[in-house]
Amino acid sequence: MTNWIEIDTYAKEWLKEAGDRIKESFTGKLNVQTKSNANDLVTNIDKETEQYFICKIKESYPEHRVFGEEGFGDVIENLKGVVWIIDPIDGTMNFVHQQRNFAISIGVYEDGIGKLGYIYDVVLDELYHAKSGEGAYLNEAKLPKLEEVSVDKAIVSLNATWVTPNKRIDHQTFTPLVKDVRGTRSYGSAALELAYVATGRLDAYITMRLSPWDFAGGKVLVEELGGKVTDLYGNELDMINKSPMFASKPGLHQEIIEKYIKNGK
């Protein structure tokens, strides 16, 4: 039997330690490199943080596998057994340019089912965490279940990329939604945007291209509070490959899909 209480205790300890190391890096010189394009940044701290978690996990749980953005973990083709899905720094551009608005994101899955979710806003020392079936918390405070909201009172997070011509979707799809909602926002960290959906600061978050490590932790958190985390059309998310993602309060999720996404197709 997997000892989730022990895993949860370790995960929280490692998150704090990794967070302290990230904060210490603010006074040193960052080594910033680019990946797929000139705006896709990665730093030595992203890499060191991922390596830190892998070391700790493999030391305590050699049978667990790690699926991490920077590629130091295992090659993952399925989610059999226990898999830690890790984004060492989500919001690297914010980390480099702002030294805030980024987070460590971790989801621990067993046979594809989300068991533990963590989003750690290192700078604010705010740890959003959930154990499936046992509630979700911001630090020590238990988070309440998400309440219903209508589109006209909703704040929706949507990056400007998706309302200007782009490769993934007809950019006018979202125009009626943007007009009808109370407001739109964009924070540059998918993990934090999911944490904000979990805490009700945002009512929904829509994006056309995320990787499993961007949402693995947030999915556990939002679902624990009764929210929905799916692809754009309400289907199960692909936990191995990149996909569009739509996270929202329950009723709003259905309303947006029916009225705006399906009609916009």
- Residues contributing to the site for Ca ion (CB under 5 A): 69, 87, 89-90, 214
- The residues of the shown chain that bind ligand IPD, judged by CB under 6 A, are 69, 87, 90-92, 159, 188-190, 207, 209-210, 214
Q: Which does 210 bind (CB under 5 to 8 A by kind): Ca ion, ligand IPD, none?
A: ligand IPD
Half-sphere exposure of residue 77, counting CA atoms within 13 Å on the CB side? Answer: 0
Q: Which long-range contacts (CB under 8 A, 24 or more apart) does 38-43 make?
A: 39/93, 41/92, 41/93, 41/96, 42/70, 42/92, 43/89, 43/92, 43/95, 43/96
Q: Is 125 annotated as a binding residue?
A: no
C-beta of 96: minimal distance to ligand IPD in Å? Answer: 9
Q: Which does 248 bind (CB under 5 to 8 A by kind): ligand IPD, Ca ion, none?
A: none
Q: Is 59 annotated as a binding residue?
A: no
Query: Which of 7, 197 has the CB closer to ligand IPD?
Result: 197
C-beta of 35: minimal distance to ligand IPD in Å? Answer: 8
C-beta of 133: minimal distance to Ca ion in Å? Answer: 26
- The crossing angle, in degrees rounded to 10, of helices 4-24 and 44-60 is 150
Q: Is 48 annotated as a binding residue?
A: no
CB 80 within 8 A of CB 190: no
C-beta of 56: minimal distance to ligand IPD in Å? Answer: 20
CB 121 within 8 A of CB 195: yes
Distance from the first to the final alpha carbon of the chain = 46
Distance between CA atoms of residues 158 and 166, nearest Å: 14
CB 156 within 8 A of CB 181: yes
Q: Which does 70 bind (CB under 5 to 8 A by kind): Ca ion, ligand IPD, none?
A: none
Q: Is 89 annotated as a binding residue?
A: yes
CB 49 within 8 A of CB 17: no
C-beta of 265: minimal distance to ligand IPD in Å? Answer: 22
Annotated binding site: 69, 87, 89-90, 214
Annotated binding site for Mg(2+): 69, 87, 89-90, 214
